[in-house]
Amino acid sequence: MCGILGMIANSPVVQDLYDGLVVLQHRGQDAAGLATYNGSQIHIKKGNGLVRDVFRTKNMIRLKGNMGIGHVRYPTAGCYREEEAQPFYVNAPFGIVLGHNGNLTNYAKLKKEVIDKDMRHLNTSSDSELLLNVLAHELIQQKPKKHLTPEQIFGAVKKVYKRVEGGFAVMSMIAGHGLLAFRDPNGIRPLVIGIRKETGKKTEYIFASESVAVQTLGFQILRDLGPGEAVYIDQKTHKLHSEILARAEFTPCIFEFVYLARPDSLIDSISVYKTRIRMGQKLAKQILQDKKTPRIDVVIPIPETSRPIALAMSEILKVRFREGFVKNRYIGRTFIMPSQHLRQKSIRYKLNPIPLEFKGKNVLLVDDSIVRGNTSRKIVEMVRQAGAKEVYFASAAPPIVNPDVYGIDMPTRGELIANRLTIPQIAKSIGVDRLYYQKIEDLLECARAGNKKIKNFCWSSMGGPYPAGHITEAVLQRVEKERFAYQTSAGSTDDDQMPLL
């Protein structure tokens, strides 16, 4: 899970890129980076931390040029060292920088090819650096003379598609040429294009992981990149070239709508906010169909993602909606913190209950999902300490039972509480009197209602098929092994790996 951004304009882009990364900060809190091109030189600044911590005035002054890309990182591949921050750079051909959102599922095989056959050096364990080197190699194989043509660029990307597997949205910049973006053949990871026009000037373009960055910066949404589509914007003319280079079943990630994306975004023309409203309506109707429906005094969301879900539930259930937690906005999203130790430590600092809303009441807590169960358990403990009489819990997502290998941090089966326990056991483990999960058919229907052209979604983490790559048991075991190494590099202890039952 990362956020990517790219822009080509008629004036310096650094401030817009910086502002766009701030808007996409929810997609990655570990590192941030910017790269710009001023016609003769690529300027790069990146580092660990939030956007506001990585860049200073001196950096902004140095990042000159009317074309650039940006990235906010939450690592699901690679590690937590500063050199893993994106974008990455290679000097041949022409000079290329690249940032990407997603995971390459054939990383091990591809790495061996790049080192042994392509004879290229990799300086990190990041699959983004690997992807950059594959792209650079295939561009060279097009045998350009002094300048790459759009046909040669698309020819190279077509070869990239044949070599690379997984879920990915890619943003790159080729010095002296322009911006290149492409999306995986299944469209698992999102990418949208926006335009900004001014009379007498060339059209300006922006690419972003979410539409909210496009609109915030004053661009109009043009469209989403299609699955397997590459788009190239020529630096000199600002002419847009596009081509579908690979085809597969269109299966965008359902978890974007559950948790990852901001509610004010459109993902593949589907409103995230409306989808969450529909999720709440479906979940509430399921509760009403329960023959042992408990008496609920108040519906309370666990901030922030579940707020529209809980609001819709309260309307259907005809029960009061209340804000029961005050959120410290200076604590990041706990789901995307690098270790279980940090997630557990920060949750108490992040949320503080308002006892007045809990004391003596039967409370329905609403959250977007239950992944590891540890955060939910801590919250339920706080609610009971605040005086709640009965505590019920509703998850807007179905049970998370499988690893996600396409760029979301839920890769090991041992960490997933629903992989090990039944629903009654989960309820007991997190300390609630009743537990409700969204049905997968209802969740898919909620998203599909926003764009009926999309027939299916990627819901592999919820028990569905893996749509991209050849995901075997060996692949899953490799991912789990790497995950353990990443957690160790992030400073977690062996105790953090043990499930809390």
**Single-letter code of the amino acid located at 38:** N
Give me 26's structure tokens: 């929810």
Report how far residue 159's alpha carbon sits from residue 261's, in angstroms, rounded to the nearest whole number.
30
- For residue 139, give the nearest of 93, 87, 91, 90 by alpha carbon: 93
* Coil vs helix vs strand at 357: helix
Q: Is 458 a catalytic residue?
A: no
Report how far residue 110's alpha carbon sits from residue 164's, in angstroms, rounded to the nearest whole number.
7
Alpha-carbon separation of residue 84 from 74, 96, 123, 308, 379 (angstroms): 11, 17, 9, 36, 33
Report how far residue 242's alpha carbon sits from residue 223's, in angstroms, rounded to the nearest whole number.
12
The phi, psi pair for 97, rounded to 5°, reads -120, 150
Q: Where are the alpha helices (DSSP H) in 76-173?
A: 107-116, 127-141, 150-163
Residue 448 near residue 454, CB atoms below 8 Å: yes
Residue 199 near residue 262, CB atoms below 8 Å: no
Give me 149's structure tokens: 């043509």
3-state helix, strand, coil split of the chain in percent (to 5) is 35, 25, 40
Give me 99's structure tokens: 């940032």
Query: How many Cβ atoms from other residues are within 10 Å of residue 146's Cβ?
Result: 6
Strand 96-104 vs strand 166-174: parallel, antiparallel, or unpaired?
antiparallel
Query: How many Cβ atoms from other residues are within 10 Å of residue 117's Cβ?
Result: 9
- Which residue's structure tokens are 């706080």? 382
- What 415-422 contacts at long range (C-beta under 8 Å, 24+ apart), as own/partner pairs, is 415/340, 415/371, 415/372, 415/497, 415/499, 416/371, 416/372, 417/370, 417/371, 417/372, 417/373, 417/499, 418/370, 420/499, 421/501
List the catalytic residue out of 2, 253, 446, 458. Answer: 2
Residue 188 near residue 252, CB atoms below 8 Å: yes
Residue 168 near residue 408, CB atoms below 8 Å: no
Residue 500 near residue 374, CB atoms below 8 Å: yes
Alpha-carbon separation of residue 304 from 131, 344, 346 (angstroms): 34, 17, 15
Residue 469 near residue 403, CB atoms below 8 Å: no
Give the length of the chain: 501
Beta bridge partners of 206: 7, 194
Q: Which residues are catalytic?
A: 2
